[in-house]
Amino acid sequence: MLSIVTPAHNEEANVPLLYAQLKEHLDPMEWEWILVDDHSSDNTLGVFSRLAAEDGRLRGIRFSRNFGSHKALICGLREARGEAAVILAADLQDPPQVIPRLVEAWKAGDQVVWAVRTARPGESPSGLFFSRFYYWIMRRFVGFTSMPATGADFFLADRRVLDALAQFNENNVSLFALMCSLGFKHGHVDYVKEARQHGRSSWTLGKKVKLLVDSIIAFTYLPIRYMMAFGSAVGAFGFIYSLLVVYNYVQGSPAQGWSSLMVVVLMLGGMQMMMLGVLGEYIWRALDESRARPLYLVEQVVVGGAGKEDGLRGEIALDDAPQQ
């Protein structure tokens, strides 16, 4: 069986359309659809519930608050029961007709199959720039060369990979970077990412910046290593300059130029504050992980098929679910 995992936030207009496409392209195989509602303010889960009442392959989970799309993905992957799982967004930008190609590559031996974007119509220039910059950083700076250079947030993972992923409980981490860190055999298929048809993306600039910081800090200590190297270089320069000042003083030529001195002091002070900020990011994440708080909290669960009771841990049947 193949599990389709979909994070959703305010996607009530797209859910029925995505369901119709899944049925069209996946019905020859056995599949299930797990939708994780990241505490939408619209009727996303209500729309999904009506579909699930007629189809036992559908299961829905609603978070108690907005925990973020990566937490929603982790939740869905943990609940997946298939031999493999596919991450598929609810915005219809990733076409379900690509899924059979992912399955073919998986059957050929790949344990993680990335759907690699060859084009992104409708994407803003700033969005494309940030995306390319992020993947360049992850490949060149962090060292995840298996991560597609043009980006990928649509992929298939084998059951063995899902079981390995379930052993990780980090709060501040990028799921896609974590997938690359696991190892296993990676493959890819190319596709064109379509433009969004309904609604607006919840992927704000602030969330993008947080993802970048989380991805770097969670997988590499290089920022701290570069800070140490920079500090050592500045210290060596300062020691040499102090010898020059003493030498000039002995020769009767005291140091001149308070303006240039203030510029150096301000620049070094700014660099020190920035370094303290980087250290603070590492320390905060260490503190956050030490608390061992749950990654997410579930407010409501929807089970496909009226009155059906099997599948999720602590689930409630659709008829007993609180109405939206």
Kindly give the interhelix angle for 125-136 and 205-219, rounded to the nearest 10 degrees. 10
**In contact, 31 and 6? CB cutoff 8 Å:** no
Cβ neighbours of residue 7 under 8 Å, at least 6 residues apart? 36, 38, 69, 72, 73, 76, 89, 90
- Identify the residue with better confidence: 37 or 212: 37
pLDDT tops 60 at residue 318:
no
Q: Residue 34: which pLDDT band, with cuts at 50, 70 and 90?
A: very high
pLDDT score recorded for residue 24? 85
Structural domain boundaries in the chain: 2-204+294-320, 222-291
pLDDT tops 70 at residue 75:
yes
Please write the tens of the pLDDT for every residue from 227-272. 778 777 777 777 777 777 777 777 776 666 665 676 677 677 777 7
pLDDT tops 50 at residue 279:
yes
Closest CA to 146 of 193, 208, 188, 118: 188
In this structure, the chain runs to a length of 324
CB atoms within 10 A of CB 216: 21
pLDDT tops 80 at residue 173:
no
Ramachandran category for residue 207: left, alpha or beta (phi over 0 → left; psi -120 to 50 → alpha): alpha
Cβ neighbours of residue 123 under 8 Å, at least 6 residues apart? 131, 193, 195
Average per-residue pLDDT for the chain: 77
CA separation for the pair 40, 19 (Å, rounded): 18
Cβ neighbours of residue 112 under 8 Å, at least 6 residues apart? 155, 156, 157, 158, 161, 179, 182, 184, 185, 186, 187
- Token readout for 141 is 């700076």
Closest CA to 294 of 64, 41, 125: 64
C-alpha dihedral sign at 208, 67, 154, 52:
negative
Which CATH fold would you assign to the domain 2-204+294-320?
A: Spore Coat Polysaccharide Biosynthesis Protein SpsA; Chain A (3.90.550)
CA separation for the pair 49, 78 (Å, rounded): 21
CA separation for the pair 178, 181 (Å, rounded): 5
Q: Residue 127: which pLDDT band, with cuts at 50, 70 and 90?
A: low
